[in-house]
């Protein structure tokens, strides 16, 4: 009788514990459902979700979940491939980047529940007036990339004649710059019709560039251009904070005239011209610093530190990258130079009258093994010389 009584007591306790466990799980599900509101589908919330899920996938112990030998081997290979891609995409490897973006797409679409209704809560696709210049540029570049691949940015610049000197309000001299107004005009003229897949892909790119990519320049860096740099102009944060403590009036004058900060500085080198992308920004010095700390890391060239304030290295695709940091420089900054052999034709580089004679002279100088000195100002394409065209 005593044993029977003990068995009954144990069963009752077990049933009570099981009931409490099921009730708790239901409450958690209800709480999750209540938390689904407008903020659930913002970019920040999606980035948090993607980070958490990828962390879970890469850190899960596969031996604890009772897999068959074949399934264990398959999951191990998949886990290794993801770890490799997450590391390689920070070096500028476009294949690893594509793999990570496809995984993020699947996570958002299949697990997070992104659909036609809520995708516009991340980026206002349905209300063009609420789109920022960066949103519009991301959409334009994405749509052109579907047709032109890595020539997308070149096609946009050529089609709308953006690589021309122009006067900007408040500046005495003309400069090469692409403004927010020009991006707005292009977006209005193109009048894109985006599918759900297009919208999610634009959101995926924005998530990727803030998580593993190079912020606002991530897609631009992959394009077939001569180079890109950031943090190389504008006022440093240290200067602004110092002025704020000593002269508030001067700081208000800077804000009134919209003087760009160093983190607003993004330049591309296109056809030998340095063009400022005035509509793009890193947003903060912390984001610019993150990009600078990641962009030079291919093949472990060493630590960028206060005592060693610069690094010269190359990226996975052969691009040359130079990174500097305070106190060697006033701000964090980087320079990426890309070497596109296809574009390095003398006929394309030398354009002045009588260029045929100059090209013939260069060819004979190279064939004669003569010493040649190429001089000129920055951005005049000195690196594209005759040696690669003989």
Average per-residue pLDDT for the chain: 83
CA neighbor of 277 nearest in space, from 221, 317, 237: 221
| Largest CA-CA distance found in the chain, in angstroms, rounded | 114
Q: Which residue has the tokens 């951005």?
A: 379
Q: What is the pLDDT of residue 360?
A: 87
Overall number of domains in the chain: 2
pLDDT digits (tens, 9 = 90+) for 276-310: 999 999 988 899 999 999 999 999 898 899 889 99
- The highest-confidence range among 243-257, 320-334, 365-379, by mean pLDDT, is 320-334
Q: Which residues contact 30 (CB under 8 A, 6 or more apart)?
A: none
Q: What is the pLDDT of residue 172?
A: 79
How far does the chain reach from its first CA to its final CA, in angstroms? Answer: 102
Q: Which residues contact 188 (CB under 8 A, 6 or more apart)?
A: 128
Instruction: Burial-class residue 263 by CB neighbours within 10 Å (0-12, 13-18, 19+).
Output: buried
φ/ψ (deg, to 5) at 60: -65, 140
Section 224-241 average pLDDT: 83
Query: Does residue 374 lie within any of the structural domains?
Result: yes
The tokens describing 125, both together, are: 């696709």
Is 9 or 167 the better-scoring residue by pLDDT? 167
Task: Classify residue 15 as left (phi > 0), alpha (psi -120 to 50) or beta.
Answer: alpha
pLDDT digits (tens, 9 = 90+) for 63-108: 777 778 888 888 889 899 999 999 999 888 899 999 999 999 999 9
Q: What is the pLDDT of residue 366?
A: 87
For β-strands 273-277 and 310-314, DSSP reports them as: unpaired
Query: Does residue 171 lie within any of the structural domains?
Result: no
Query: Does residue 106 lie within any of the structural domains?
Result: no
Section 155-182 average pLDDT: 90
Query: Does residue 146 lie within any of the structural domains?
Result: no
DSSP string, 76-122: HHHHHHHHHHHHHGGGT-HHHHHHHHHHHHHIIIIII---TTTGGGT
Q: What is the pLDDT of residue 5?
A: 64
Is 81 or 5 the better-scoring residue by pLDDT? 81
- 325 and 346 in contact (C-beta within 8 Å)? no
Q: Which residues contact 72 (CB under 8 A, 6 or more apart)?
A: 62, 63
Q: What whole-number distance in Å separates Cα of residue 218 and Cα of residue 263?
A: 15
For 173-192, give the secondary structure using H, E and C: CCEEEECHHHHHHHHHHHCC
CA neighbor of 81 nearest in space, from 66, 62, 103, 61: 103
- H helices within the chain, ranges in order? 2-35, 43-59, 69-88, 94-106, 133-148, 152-159, 180-190, 196-211, 218-222, 237-246, 248-256, 285-295, 346-349, 355-367
How many CA atoms, within 13 angstroms, populate the side-chain half-sphere of residue 79? 16
Q: What is the pLDDT of residue 243?
A: 59
Query: Does residue 177 lie within any of the structural domains?
Result: no
Q: How many of the other CB atoms lie within 10 Å of CB of 43?
A: 14
Which of 53-57, 70-74, 184-188, 376-380 is predicted with the least confidence, judged by mean pLDDT?
Answer: 376-380
> Predicted confidence band at 344 (pLDDT cuts at 50, 70, 90)?
low
Query: Does residue 19 lie within any of the structural domains?
Result: yes
Query: Does residue 212 lie within any of the structural domains?
Result: no
Query: Does residue 16 lie within any of the structural domains?
Result: yes
> Predicted confidence band at 33 (pLDDT cuts at 50, 70, 90)?
very low
pLDDT at residue 343 tops 60: no
Q: What is the pLDDT of residue 27?
A: 47
- 231 and 332 in contact (C-beta within 8 Å)? yes
pLDDT at residue 159 tops 60: yes
Q: What is the pLDDT of residue 8?
A: 72
pLDDT at residue 255 tops 80: no
Section 248-267 average pLDDT: 69
CA neighbor of 237 nearest in space, from 169, 334, 333: 333
pLDDT digits (tens, 9 = 90+) for 357-373: 888 888 898 889 888 88
Q: What is the pLDDT of residue 383?
A: 59
DSSP string, 110-139: III---TTTGGGTS-TT-GGG--HHHHHHH
Beta bridge partners of 166: 175
Sign of CA dihedral 291, 91, 379, 150: negative
Is 267 or 26 the better-scoring residue by pLDDT? 267
How many CA atoms, within 13 angstroms, populate the side-chain half-sphere of residue 93? 15
Q: How many of the other CB atoms lie within 10 Å of CB of 226?
A: 21
Task: Tell me which residue range forms the domain holding 1.
Answer: 1-35
């Amino acid at each position: 009788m005593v044993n029977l009584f003990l068995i009954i007591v144990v069963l009752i306790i077990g049933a009570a514990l099981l009931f409490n466990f099921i009730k708790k799980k239901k409450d958690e599900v209800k709480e999750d459902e209540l938390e689904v509101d407008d903020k659930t589908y913002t970019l920040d919330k999606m980035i948090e979700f993607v980070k958490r899920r990828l962390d879970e996938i890469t850190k899960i112990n596969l031996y604890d979940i009772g897999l068959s030998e074949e399934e264990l081997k398959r999951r191990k290979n998949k886990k290794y491939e993801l770890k490799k891609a997450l590391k390689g995409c920070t070096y500028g490897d476009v294949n690893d980047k594509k793999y990570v973006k496809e995984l993020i797409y699947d996570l958002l679409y299949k697990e997070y529940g992104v659909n036609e209704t809520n995708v516009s809560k991340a980026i206002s696709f349905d209300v063009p007036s609420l789109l920022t210049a960066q949103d519009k540029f991301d959409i334009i570049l994405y749509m052109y990339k579907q047709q032109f691949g890595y020539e997308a940015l070149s096609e946009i610049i050529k089609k709308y004649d953006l690589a021309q000197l122009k006067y900007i309000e408040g500046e005495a001299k003309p400069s090469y710059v692409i403004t927010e107004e020009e991006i707005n005009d292009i977006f209005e003229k193109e009048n894109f019709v985006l599918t759900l897949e297009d919208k999610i892909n634009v959101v995926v790119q924005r998530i990727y560039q803030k998580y593993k990519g190079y912020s606002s320049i991530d897609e631009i860096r992959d394009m077939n251009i001569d180079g890109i740099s950031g943090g190389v102009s504008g006022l440093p944060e240290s200067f602004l904070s110092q002025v704020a403590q000593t002269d508030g009036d001067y700081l208000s004058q800077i804000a009134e005239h919209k003087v760009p900060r160093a983190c607003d500085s993004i330049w591309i080198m296109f056809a030998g011209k340095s063009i400022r992308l005035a509509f793009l920004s890193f947003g903060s010095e912390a984001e610019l610093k993150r990009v600078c700390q990641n962009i030079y890391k291919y093949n472990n060239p060493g630590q960028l530190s206060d005592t060693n304030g610069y690094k010269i290295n190359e990226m996975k695709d052969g691009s040359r990258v130079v990174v500097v940091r305070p106190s060697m420089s006033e701000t964090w900054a980087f320079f990426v130079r890309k070497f596109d052999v296809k574009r390095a034709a003398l006929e394309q580089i030398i354009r002045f009258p009588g260029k045929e004679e100059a090209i013939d002279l260069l060819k004979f100088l190279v064939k004669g093994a003569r010493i040649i000195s190429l001089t000129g100002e920055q951005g005049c394409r000195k690196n594209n010389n005759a040696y690669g065209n003989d």
